Amino acid sequence: MNPKEIISNAHQALDIEINELQKLRDRLNDSFIKSVLTINESKGKLIVVGIGKSAHVGNKIVATLNSTGTPSQFLHAAEAIHGDLGVIQKKDIVLCISYSGNSPEIVNLLPFLKDYSSVLIGMTGNPESKLGKASDIILNTHVDKEACPNKLAPTSSTTVQMALGDALAICLMELNGFKDIDFAKFHPGGSIGKNLTAKVEQFVSQNKPEVSPESSIRDVIISVSGSKHGITVVIENETIVGVITDGD
């Protein structure tokens, strides 16, 4: 495969996924609105359930929701029937993700999800599946074509699931009036947290280079050149009255 063919294949994959996202956009309806409002009005948390690739998508959706003000928790379908169902409380809402809607682990779990939660939202590409029929609200993630050339690996379908999860999170953010200051509270680490919460005093050195208005030019040059920042501060009566830089 030559370089042009590689780029061509990449374009084709992206075009297929973009097309499926456009279909998802056009398909949004009252079910999406109801999902957003139901989650927003809930007195409990949102439990996201999935298995296989949908589990990876579910984990990412939970991470996004938690960081944007919607308390959420991921529950792996295979682990749920071995004790982890205890995480679900009656006031919680369950968002169950399964493209086929008929995965054995999901099907076996459905009676318990219905019984233990207040509302079951099914995110599935098959509304007529067992998950679809058991759900109180259906979020349709059907795709006509996977980007995988063999039409087997979940590609377009997982992209659509992920995007729909992002759309839910954004709408919930808007409803809750979630602002950047709130975002900063949940992101104290990394560049995001630093940009939103850092204060100037954290970066000011207590051993800053300084001179006074009476300092000689020689003293100023020594102060500037001795600083790795190429700058010195002019201090008078414990107040900064100016700065002198090396011009770089």
Q: For position 199, what pLDDT does the model report?
A: 66
What's residue 97's pLDDT?
99
Average pLDDT over residues 15-27: 98
Beta bridge partners of 73: 47
24-29 own/partner pairs: CB under 8 Å, 24+ apart: 24/141, 24/160, 24/163, 24/164, 27/140, 28/167
> Directed axis angle between helix 53-67 and helix 156-176, to 10°?
20
State residue 195's pLDDT score. 67
What structural domains and CATH numbers belong to the chain? 3-193 (3.40.50.10490), 205-245 (no CATH)
The closest alpha carbon to 165, from 114, 123, 128, belongs to 123
pLDDT at 12: 97
- State the burial class of residue 214 (Cβ atoms within 10 Å of its Cβ: 0-12, 13-18, 19+): exposed
90 falls in which pLDDT band (50, 70, 90)?
Answer: very high
pLDDT of 236 reads 85
Asked whether residue 237 carries a pLDDT value surpassing 80, the answer given is: yes
Question: pLDDT per residue over 186-216, tens digit each?
Answer: 766 666 666 666 665 555 666 678 888 888 8
Tell me the mean pLDDT in the region 142-154.
94
pLDDT tens, position by position, 168-178: 999 999 999 98
Tell me the average pLDDT across 220-233: 76
Lowest mean pLDDT among 11-20, 117-126, 221-230: 221-230
Secondary structure of residue 22 in the 3-state scheme? helix
Which amino acid is located at 10 in the chain?
A: A
Average pLDDT over residues 142-146: 97
C-alpha pair distances (Å), 78 with each of 83, 106, 237: 10, 8, 69
**How large is the average pLDDT for residues 100-129?**
97
Which pair of tokens denotes residue 158?
């997982």
Residue 232: per-residue pLDDT: 84
Listed in sequence order, the DSSP H helices in the chain are: 3-27, 30-41, 53-67, 77-80, 104-116, 130-134, 156-176, 180-185, 190-197, 217-225
pLDDT band of 80, cuts 50, 70, 90: very high
pLDDT for the residue 233:
82
Instruction: Return the pLDDT at 69.
Output: 92
Average pLDDT of 1-9? 95
